[in-house]
C-alpha cells in the first residue's frame, strides 16, 4: 500500500470523513432539454448532482430512474442492499438502470483489493466482465483476498494472473480515486449511499421502502416526459435541476424519516364498506392495500393461504385498492373487482380478486370481460363499469387513505393495526398475528365483545403515518 496511487486514495478517503471537500463540478448536458422537468418543484426531496461518467451500469438502456450506488465490497450493509437492488432491477428491467461507484472505506483492508479485481475484470471483458466479477465477489464474501479473488477470476475465464497483478500494484487506483472525488463532492460519507435520479438515500432500506422511492421517482420522470423531456435525457434533465452539493444533514434525516414508517405504531385503518373475507368476529383483522398488476401482491397470496391454515377461523381480510401510477392496467382491474363486488358481494369480489391475481399479465379489457363471463356477472353492466368511472370514487378514497397512512408501495398490510410492508415471509406475519391475538384476548377479558374487537383495539391508534425519527 506504499504506491503513490494508494497514498492519494487514503488521503481522499480520510477527506471524506473530515471536511466539506473540493469545489463543486458544474452539471453538463450534451443536449440540454428545452423544457424544465418537475424535480425542482419538489424541494422536499434531497437531490444531488452525481455524474455518471464512465461508471459501469446495467439495466434499461433508456431508464426512467437511474440508481447510482456508492459501495464497498467489505461492507455487510452494501452486500445486503445489493440483493435489494437486484430484486428492484428484476421487477423493473425496462425502467431502471444501476451504476456502480467505488467507496472502499479505510477500515476495510480488503475492499480496495476487491475494487482492483472488478476493475481488472472490466479492463479484460468490459462492463459485462465488471458485473460478472462484482456478482461473484458478493456471492463469495470470504474470497476477499488475493488467492480468493484470483480463484473467482479464473472461474469466470479471466486472466487470474493479471487480476493478481492489478491487486498487487493497484493498477486501477485512478478509477477509484475518481469515484472518491465524486463521492466527496456529492457529500457521501459512508456506505451504502445511493442516489435515484440524484435523490440521496443513506443506509439500508427494505425492498418495499426502496420500491416506494422508485415509484415516486418514476412518476416524476413520466411527468418530465409529458412536458417534453426525451426519455434518453431524463437523468441529464434531473441533474440539471439538482443541487451541486449535498443537502444538510438535517434535510437528509428528514428524508430518511419520511421514507421509513414507524412499525412500532398501531394504525386505525377503516374497514366499513370494503370487501371482506373471513368471519366478521374474527379476533385478527388484516387490511391489505394491493395493486392487481403488482408482482409482489400476487407472490404473497400463497403466504396468506398458509396463514389461513395456520390460524383457522381467526383471520379476517379487508381489501383496499392502491393502483400504482406506473401500472396502466391496475385501475381497470380494480374497477372490475369492484363491479364484481357490486353484483355479487364479498364472494364475487374475492372470486374476481383471485382470478386477477393469477392472471396479472392478462388484464386487458377483453381479458376482464372473459373473467366476468366465467364468474356469471352481468356482462353489459360489467363492461360499462370498467370503461366508466362508477367505482373511481371508492378507489380514489382508498388511494388517499393509503397516502395518509404512508402506504406508498404494494402490498402493504395492517395486522390489527400493525403495519407490514411487502411480500414478507409467513413467520413475519405470524409475529404480528400472535401479537394481535394477545391484544384481542386482553380486550375480551376487559369486556369487549367479539364484533367490536377491531374498533376497541384501535380506539387510540394513529390515523395517519408516523415516521421513524431515529437516524
Given 259, 285, 308, the domain boundary residue is 259
pLDDT computed for residue 155 by the predictor: 97
The kind and range of the H/E element at 101 are strand 96-102
DSSP code string of 51-95:
--TT--EEE-SS-SEEEEEEE-TT-HHHHHHHHHHHHHHHH-TTT
pLDDT computed for residue 250 by the predictor: 64
Within 13 Å, how many C-alpha atoms sit on residue 451's CB side? 1
Domain span at 177: 4-259
Q: What CATH number is attached to the domain comprising 49?
A: 3.40.30.10
Q: How far apart are CA 471 and CA 467, in angstroms?
A: 11
Q: Is 175 left (phi over 0), alpha (psi -120 to 50) or beta?
A: alpha
Asked if the structure places residue 467 within a domain, the reply is no
Cis, peptide link before residue 192, omega less than 30° from 0? yes
pLDDT computed for residue 19 by the predictor: 26
Asked if the structure places residue 35 within a domain, the reply is yes
pLDDT computed for residue 246 by the predictor: 62
Residue 468 is given by DSSP the state -
Residue corresponding to grid cell 381497470: 332
Whether the full predicted model's pTM is greater than 0.95, yes or no, is no
Q: How far apart are CA 365 and CA 345, in angstroms?
A: 22
166 and 238 part of one domain? yes
CB 349 within 8 A of CB 357: no
251 and 281 part of one domain? no
Q: How many domains does the chain have?
A: 2
DSSP code string of 16-45:
HTTS--SPPPPP--SS--SS--SGGG-TTS
Residue corresponding to grid cell 395493486: 291
234 and 289 part of one domain? no
349 and 392 part of one domain? yes
Residue 452 is given by DSSP the state G
pLDDT computed for residue 247 by the predictor: 60
175 and 30 part of one domain? yes
Asked if the structure places residue 121 within a domain, the reply is yes
155 and 192 part of one domain? yes
List the pLDDT tens digit at each of the 471 positions of the chain.
334 444 444 444 433 332 222 232 333 344 545 566 788 888 777 789 999 999 999 999 999 999 999 999 988 778 888 989 999 999 999 999 999 999 998 888 899 999 999 999 999 999 999 999 999 999 888 888 889 999 999 999 999 999 999 999 999 999 999 999 999 889 898 889 999 999 998 877 878 788 888 998 999 999 999 999 999 999 999 998 887 666 666 665 555 555 567 778 999 999 999 999 999 999 999 999 999 988 889 989 999 999 999 999 999 999 999 987 657 799 999 999 999 999 999 999 999 999 999 998 899 999 999 999 999 999 999 999 999 999 999 999 999 999 889 887 789 999 999 999 888 889 999 999 999 999 999 999 999 998 889 999 999 999 988 866 443
**Which are the contacts of 181, defined by CB distance < 8 A and separation ≥ 6?**
12, 22
pLDDT computed for residue 6 by the predictor: 43
250 and 285 part of one domain? no
pLDDT computed for residue 45 by the predictor: 76
Amino acid at each position: 500500500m506504499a504506491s503513490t496511487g494508494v497514498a492519494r486514495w487514503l488521503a481522499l478517503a480520510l477527506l471524506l470523513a473530515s471536511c466539506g471537500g473540493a469545489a463543486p463540478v458544474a452539471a453538463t448536458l450534451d443536449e440540454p432539454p428545452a423544457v424544465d422537468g418537475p424535480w425542482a418543484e419538489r424541494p422536499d426531496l434531497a437531490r444531488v448532482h452525481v455524474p455518471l461518467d464512465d461508471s459501469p451500469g446495467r439495466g434499461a438502456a433508456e431508464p426512467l430512474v437511474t440508481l447510482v450506488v456508492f459501495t464497498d465490497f467489505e461492507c455487510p450493509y452494501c452486500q445486503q442492499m445489493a440483493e435489494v437492488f437486484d430484486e428492484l432491477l428484476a421487477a423493473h428491467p425496462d425502467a431502471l438502470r444501476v451504476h456502480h461507484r467505488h467507496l472502499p472505506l479505510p477500515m476495510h483492508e480488503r475492499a480496495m483489493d476487491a475494487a482492483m479485481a472488478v476493475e481488472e475484470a472490466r479492463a479484460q471483458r468490459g462492463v459485462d466482465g465488471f458485473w460478472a466479477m462484482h456478482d461473484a465477489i458478493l456471492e463469495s464474501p470470504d474470497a476477499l483476498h488475493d488467492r480468493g479473488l484470483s480463484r473467482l477470476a479464473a472461474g469466470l475465464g479471466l486472466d487470474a494472473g493479471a487480476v493478481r497483478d492489478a491487486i498487487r500494484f493497484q493498477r486501477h487506483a485512478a478509477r477509484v480515486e475518481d469515484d472518491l472525488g465524486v463521492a466527496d463532492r456529492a457529500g457521501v460519507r459512508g456506505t451504502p449511499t445511493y442516489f435515484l435520479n440524484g435523490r440521496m438515500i443513506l443506509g439500508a432500506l427494505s425492498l418495499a421502502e426502496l420500491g416506494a422511492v422508485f415509484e415516486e421517482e418514476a412518476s416524476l420522470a413520466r411527468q418530465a416526459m409529458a412536458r417534453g423531456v426525451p426519455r434518453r435525457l431524463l437523468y441529464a434533465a434531473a441533474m440539471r435541476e439538482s443541487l451541486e452539493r449535498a443537502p444538510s444533514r438535517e434535510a437528509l434525516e428528514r428524508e430518511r424519516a419520511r421514507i421509513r414508517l414507524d412499525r412500532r405504531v398501531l394504525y386505525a385503518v377503516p374497514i366499513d364498506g370494503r370487501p371482506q373475507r373471513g368471519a366478521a368476529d374474527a379476533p385478527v383483522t388484516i387490511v391489505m392495500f394491493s395493486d392487481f398488476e403488482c408482482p409482489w401482491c400476487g407472490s404473497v397470496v400463497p403466504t396468506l393461504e398458509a396463514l389461513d391454515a395456520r390460524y383457522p377461523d381467526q383471520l379476517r381480510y379487508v381489501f383496499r385498492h392502491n393502483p400504482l401510477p406506473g401500472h396502466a392496467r391496475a385501475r381497470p382491474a380494480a374497477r372490475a373487482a369492484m363491479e364484481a363486488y357490486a353484483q355479487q358481494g364479498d364472494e364475487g369480489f374475492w372470486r374476481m380478486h383471485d382470478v386477477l391475481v393469477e392472471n396479472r399479465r392478462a388484464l386487458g379489457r377483453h381479458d376482464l370481460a372473459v373473467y366476468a363471463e366465467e364468474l356469471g356477472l352481468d356482462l353489459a353492466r360489467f363492461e360499462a363499469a370498467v370503461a366508466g368511472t362508477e367505482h373511481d370514487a371508492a378507489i380514489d378514497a382508498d388511494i388517499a387513505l393509503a397516502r395518509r397512512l404512508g402506504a406508498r408501495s404494494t402490498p402493504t398490510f395492517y395486522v390489527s393495526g400493525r403495519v407490514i410492508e411487502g411480500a414478507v415471509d409467513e413467520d413475519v406475519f405470524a409475529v404480528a398475528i400472535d401479537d394481535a391475538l394477545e391484544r384481542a384476548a386482553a380486550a375480551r377479558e376487559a369486556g369487549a365483545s367479539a364484533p367490536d374487537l377491531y374498533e376497541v383495539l384501535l380506539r387510540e391508534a394513529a390515523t395517519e403515518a408516523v415516521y421513524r425519527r431515529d437516524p
